Structure 1
Amino acid sequence: MPPRRRTGRPRSGSRAPACAEYPARRDDLVTLAKGNGADDTLVKKLVDAPADEFDGPNDVQKAVFENE
Structure 2
Amino acid sequence: MGSDFPAWQTVYGYFRLWVRLGVWEQRNAALVPQVRVREGRESQPRLGIIDSQSVKLGPKGGRTRG
Whether TM-score is above 0.5 comes out as no
Determine which structure has the larger strand proportion and give its number: 1
Determine which structure has the larger helix proportion and give its number: 2
- Larger RCO (CA within 8 A; separation ≥ 6): 1
**Larger Rg belongs to:** 2
Q: What is the TM-score with the length of structure 2 in the denominator?
A: 0.25
